[in-house]
Structure 1
Amino acid sequence: MVLVTGGTGLVGAHLLLHLVDNGVSVRAIYRNEKTIQRTKTLFSLYKKELLFEKIDWIIADILDVPTLEIAFENVEYVYHCAAIISFDPKDEGLLRKTNIEGTANIVNFCISNSVKKLCFISSISALGDLKNNEKTITEETEWNPEKPHSDYAISKYGAEMEVWRGHQEGLNVIIVNPGVILGPTIWQEGSGKIFTQIQQGLSFYTKGITGFVAVNDVVKILIQLMNSNINNERFTLVAENIVYRDLLNSIANALKMKRPTIYASPILMGFLWKIDWFVSTFFRQKRKLSRAAAKASYSKNLYSNAKISNALGITFLDINQNIKEIAKFVS
């Protein structure tokens, strides 16, 4: 039996689809019926509704130990995809509790239930910080605690420490650090929100650079790593390093919408996040642009995929072509 946490998210839902489509016995945990519907919608999108019925869904929460006891019965392999993604400073406590404490719970249950292998989906935000003489971030780049990091990045780094602790206690583990993951169908969250913003007439662009990867590439790599003899390794999953402006233009072209035309300079982004802080603080609205997010929008980070390419001989999907495929699903 394979257990998938976060099966109602972008990666988890696609992972479930790939697993059941290949005849794997799968169990997934969920917190409410509404979130399950998102996964069901994805299966319908790919015209594989009948496969959805083959998933063994169990109500559980990675922070609720008693429910996890039931979820882990007869489980041999675990894909831990569940996490909170937020760049709102007000969510610091929630991020640390869910992403670090929740991961610690998963690791503990894997150990106590003699799980054969745990695959943890982390993030490139948890990779290290470049030194002055370095240009490309790899799995070996050292994390510098003295440098500023978003609360999300800190929570994912802390979660990785829990996974490595599990390895030290005898658990076979794999950690993957995907870049920004592109895929259908959660349009109001994560990368999906970029498509809806372009559709609604996004005007601003920045010139920052980061790594991007297609969700189907991520899922295929997860499964290959889990089925391989590779253990206790960490892999960066990035297909291409792309300038944000170029990504937005590509999405606009695919959606046949107007391209963003106003350059949001670092100075402007600094001004905007301060305005957002003021509105959030005094009008009790949720943050839309944090200081960390503003900085990320103009930071230029290059990531290497050499390690995973050499390990599996993987050829990544072209991001521009992937965007065209995703655009077909945007309503």
Structure 2
Amino acid sequence: MVLVTGGTGLVGAHLLLHLIENGENVRAIYRSQNNIQKTKSVFELYKKADLFEKIEWLEADILDIPSLETAFTGIDYVYHCAALISFDPKDEEELRKTNIEGTANIVNFAIAREVKKFCFVSSIAALGDLAAHETHITEETDWNPEKPHSDYAISKYGSEMEVWRGHQEGLDVLIVNPGVILGPIPKNKDKQQGSAELYNKVANGLSFYTLGSTGFISIDDVVKTTYQLMKSNIKNERFTLIADNIVFRDILNTIAEALNVKKPHIHAKPFLMNLLWMADGIFSTLFFQKRSLTRATAKASYSKNLYSNEKIKTALGAVFQDVHQYIKDVSKL
């Protein structure tokens, strides 16, 4: 049997659908009954609602060890997708506890129950920092602790260290590092994160764009490639999952075209982005609200990071969807 943590998130929900479509027996853990509806809505979006009933749901928390005792009964393979995603400095402690301590718990159970293979869904945020002579970030790029990293990036890097510790203790592992994951356009506008939040901002008339760049990939390619890796003989490796490196302005323009709304038209240069994140900090403090723009996200918006996907292409012969076409396709769902 396969265990999926984070089954109510973007990656976890799509992974559950992909696993069941491929005939796997699946158990997913959840913390709140209400969150299960998010996964059900994904199955309904793709007109696969009948497959949703094949998931064995179990209430558990990656920070609650007693609840994990039952979750790991009879488990052969684990996909660890559960994580807290936040770039708000106020969430530093929660990020480290959830992502690092939670991963350590899942790894420990996987070792104790002699799980056959363990896959951790990490992030390109946990990859290394370019040296002066390097042009693309790869799986071998060294992490430089002297350089600034977001609390989220540090928590994912720390999570990976727990996975490698599990490998040293005899666990066969895989780590995938997806870029910015683009999923379907959600119908529910509440508590959006990631690509859903991005779609919504553009739909609501986002005015600013930047000329920074990063790696993007569709959710379909993330789950398909992750599953292929788990079914292969490949183990104890990490893989960067991106379809392409794309300028933020170009992604925003594609989303605007797909949604038939006005494109962002004001170039937010680094100086302006730095002013905006400082103003956001003052506003959030005065009105006790969550940060919508932080120093880390502002810097990321104008940084021109290039990531290499050569390792996964060589290992599996992977061919990824064109991200711009994917956005156009999901706008019609």
TM range (shorter): over 0.9
Q: Which residue of 1 aligns with 2:11?
A: 11
SS in 2 for 1:37: helix
SS in 2 for 1:279: helix
State the distance in 2 between where 1:257 and 1:156 align: 35
State the distance in 2 between where 1:250 and 1:235 align: 27
Q: Which residue of 1 aligns with 2:101?
A: 101
Q: Which amino acid in structure 1 is aligned with residue 267 of structure 2?
A: Y
Report if aligned partners of 2:208, 2:264 keep a CA contact under 8 Å in 1: yes
1:304-323 alignment to 2 at 5 Å?
Answer: 304-323=308-327
1:248 aligns with 2:228: no
Report if aligned partners of 2:185, 2:199 keep a CA contact under 8 Å in 1: no
Which aligned runs of 4 or more in structure 1 are off by greater than 4 angstroms? none
State the distance in 2 between where 1:40 and 1:12 align: 12
1:92 aligns with 2:92: yes
Q: Which residue of 2 aligns with 1:181?
A: 181
Report if aligned partners of 1:42, 1:185 keep a CA contact under 8 Å in 2: no
Report if aligned partners of 2:128, 2:142 keep a CA contact under 8 Å in 1: yes
State the distance in 1 between where 2:67 and 2:328 align: 41
Report if aligned partners of 1:10, 1:184 keep a CA contact under 8 Å in 2: no
| Structure 2 spans left out of the alignment, 5+ residues | none
Q: Which residue of 1 aligns with 2:78?
A: 78
Q: Which amino acid in structure 2 is aligned with residue 206 of structure 1?
A: T
Q: Which residue of 1 aligns with 2:67?
A: 67
Q: Which residue of 2 aligns with 1:143?
A: 143
Report if aligned partners of 1:183, 1:215 keep a CA contact under 8 Å in 2: yes
Q: Which amino acid in structure 1 is aligned with residue 26 of structure 2?
A: V
State the distance in 2 between where 1:42 and 1:234 align: 28
Q: Which residue of 2 aligns with 1:53?
A: 53
Q: Residue 268 of structure 1 is aligned with which of 253, 266, 272?
A: 272
Query: Number of paired residues?
Result: 329
1:287 aligns with 2:287: no
1:277 aligns with 2:281: yes
Task: Provide the aligned C-alpha RMSD in A.
Answer: 0.8
Q: Which moved more, 1:259-268 or 1:275-284?
A: 275-284
1:21-36 alignment to 2 at 5 Å?
Answer: 21-36=21-36
Q: Which amino acid in structure 1 is aligned with residue 250 of structure 2?
A: D
Q: Which moved more, 1:12-21 or 1:279-288?
A: 279-288
| Structure 1 spans left out of the alignment, 5+ residues | none
Q: Which residue of 2 aligns with 1:130?
A: 130
Report if aligned partners of 2:185, 2:331 keep a CA contact under 8 Å in 1: no
Q: Give identity over the alignment, percent.
A: 68
1:229 aligns with 2:243: no
- TM-score of the pair, normalised by structure 1: 0.98
Q: Which amino acid in structure 2 is aligned with residue 64 of structure 1?
A: D
Q: Which residue of 1 aligns with 2:114?
A: 114
Report if aligned partners of 2:80, 2:121 keep a CA contact under 8 Å in 1: yes
State the distance in 2 between where 1:185 and 1:4 align: 23
Query: What are the superposed Cα offsets for residues 3-33 of structure 1, whole Å, 9 maximum, x if unpaired?
Result: 0000011110000001111211000000111
Q: Aligned-pair distance for 1:284?
A: 1.3
Say if 1:149 and 1:133 are closer, same or farther in 2 by CA, change over 3 A: same
Q: Which residue of 2 aligns with 1:20?
A: 20
Q: Aligned-pair distance for 1:230?
A: 0.3
Query: What are the superposed Cα offsets for residues 30-71 of structure 1, whole Å, 9 maximum, x if unpaired?
Result: 011111000000000111111000000000000000000000
Q: Residue 211 of structure 1 is aligned with which of 207, 212, 215?
A: 215
Q: Which amino acid in structure 1 is aligned with residue 151 of structure 2?
A: D
Q: Which amino acid in structure 1 is aligned with residue 253 of structure 2?
A: N
SS in 2 for 1:191: helix
Q: Which moved more, 1:212-221 or 1:274-283?
A: 274-283
Q: Aligned-pair distance for 1:223?
A: 0.7
Q: Which amino acid in structure 1 is aligned with residue 266 of structure 2?
A: I
Report if aligned partners of 1:10, 1:185 keep a CA contact under 8 Å in 2: no
SS in 2 for 1:110: helix
Report if aligned partners of 2:213, 2:305 keep a CA contact under 8 Å in 1: yes
State the distance in 1 between where 2:167 and 2:7 align: 24
State the distance in 1 between where 2:207 and 2:6 align: 33
Q: Aligned-pair distance for 1:279?
A: 1.2
SS in 1 for 2:35: helix
State the distance in 2 between where 1:82 and 1:283 align: 30
Q: Aligned-pair distance for 1:185?
A: 5.0
State the distance in 2 between where 1:327 and 1:95 align: 32
Q: Residue 300 of structure 2 is aligned with which of 282, 289, 296?
A: 296
Q: Which amino acid in structure 2 is aligned with residue 311 of structure 1?
A: A
- TM-score of the pair, normalised by structure 2: 0.98
Q: Aligned-pair distance for 1:283?
A: 2.2
